[in-house]
Amino acid sequence: MARQPRMAPGRIAYHVMNRGVFGLTLFDGEADYAAFERVLAEARERTATRLCDYTLMPNHFHLVLWPREDGDLSRFMQWLTVTHSHRWHAHRQTVGRGRIYQSRFKSFPIQRDSHFLRVCRYVERNPLRAGLVARAEDWPWGSLACRSGREHPADLLCDWPVERPRDWPARVNRAESASELEALRRSVSRGQPYGEADWASRVAERLGLSLRPVGRPRKADGERRR
């Protein structure tokens, strides 16, 4: 039975990510990264979905998307991952050997204010946080390098819904606070809206999302285990 598209209204910005199944390396080298960027550009053209920000890592990717119409997010991501999977297998002559992604993509809505900037900073800091480069802009497979002059597919990136600070690369290279990183990772893992409390509550209600912690509550001290 086909999965139902998740509720994702247009005109809202989203952080999106997916990983290789069982830690599979999705990008073995320059040709793999460049091929995925071409698929990104094609997906963007097919759905008119705006790509604001991205970073490709060896076994996963992060995107910040700003779809125009309801349902565009799911259409974009379905075409992107299915097309990339087919081409990935065709290149390696492994057609029919199973999926390359661990699951459906994860996503969460982003408030279009300073929270949007924090998410983009989080995305573009990934290679630096992982110790792959000394400066974030040295990682070639992401929007920070693209905007710094590295060649990439034409019209791949769009303008942001908020003004990008002039000292943006310097900001990306500054580490997040522990609380900021925790809040962002919580939204990534739980799919919770990232923004001010009132905004997050309204969006969660609209999309049928929960803001409550996932998992069973802790037992009180002295409570008998059953």
The pLDDT tens digits for 11-20 are 999 999 999 9
The pLDDT tens digits for 148-167 are 887 778 779 999 999 999 99
How far, CA to CA in Å, does 88 sit from each of 18, 23, 140, 212, 214? 15, 16, 20, 38, 34
- Once rounded to an integer, what is the mean pLDDT over residues 1-16? 77
CATH number, domain at 104? 3.30.70.1290
The pLDDT tens digits for 36-59 are 999 999 999 999 899 999 999 999
Residue 135 lies in a domain: yes
Give 16: exposed, middle or buried? Use CB within 10 Å, 0-12, 13-18, 19+: buried
Phi and psi, residue 50, nearest 5°: -85, 125
pLDDT for 116 equals 98
pLDDT for 4 equals 52
pTM assigned to the model: 0.90
Residue 212 lies in a domain: no
Residue 155 lies in a domain: yes
pLDDT for 212 equals 73
Of 86, 106, 93, residue with least CA distance to 39: 86
The pLDDT tens digits for 123-146 are 999 999 999 999 999 999 999 999
Residue 6 lies in a domain: no
Confidence of residue 214 (pLDDT cuts 50, 70, 90): low
Residue 215 lies in a domain: no
pLDDT for 132 equals 97
Residue 203 lies in a domain: no
CB 65 within 8 A of CB 52: yes
Confidence of residue 3 (pLDDT cuts 50, 70, 90): low
- The answer, yes or no, to whether residue 222 has pLDDT greater than 50, is no
List b or e across 30-48, with b for residues whose CB sees 16 or more CB atoms inside 10 angstroms.
Answer: eebbbebbebbbebbeebe
Question: What would the DSSP string read from start to end of the chain?
Answer: -PPPPPP--TT-EEEEEEEBGGG--S--SHHHHHHHHHHHHHHHHHHT-EEEEEEEETTEEEEEEE-SSTTHHHHHHHHHHHHHHHHHHHHHT-TTS--SBSSSPEEEEE-TTHHHHHHHHHHHTHHHHTTS-SSGGG-SSBHHHHHTT----TT-----SSPPPTTHHHHHHSPPPHHHHHHHHHHHHH---BS-HHHHHHHHHHHT---SPSSPPPPPTTPPP-
The pLDDT tens digits for 166-191 are 999 999 999 999 999 999 999 999 99
Confidence of residue 223 (pLDDT cuts 50, 70, 90): very low
How far, CA to CA in Å, does 135 sit from each of 55, 79, 92, 171? 14, 32, 32, 11
Residue 179 lies in a domain: yes
CA dist 132 and 134 (Å) reads 7
Residue 41 lies in a domain: yes
Domain count for the chain, please give it: 1
Output the average pLDDT for the chain.
90
Which residues constitute the domain of residue 102? Answer: 13-196
Encoding tokens for residue 39?
């698929």
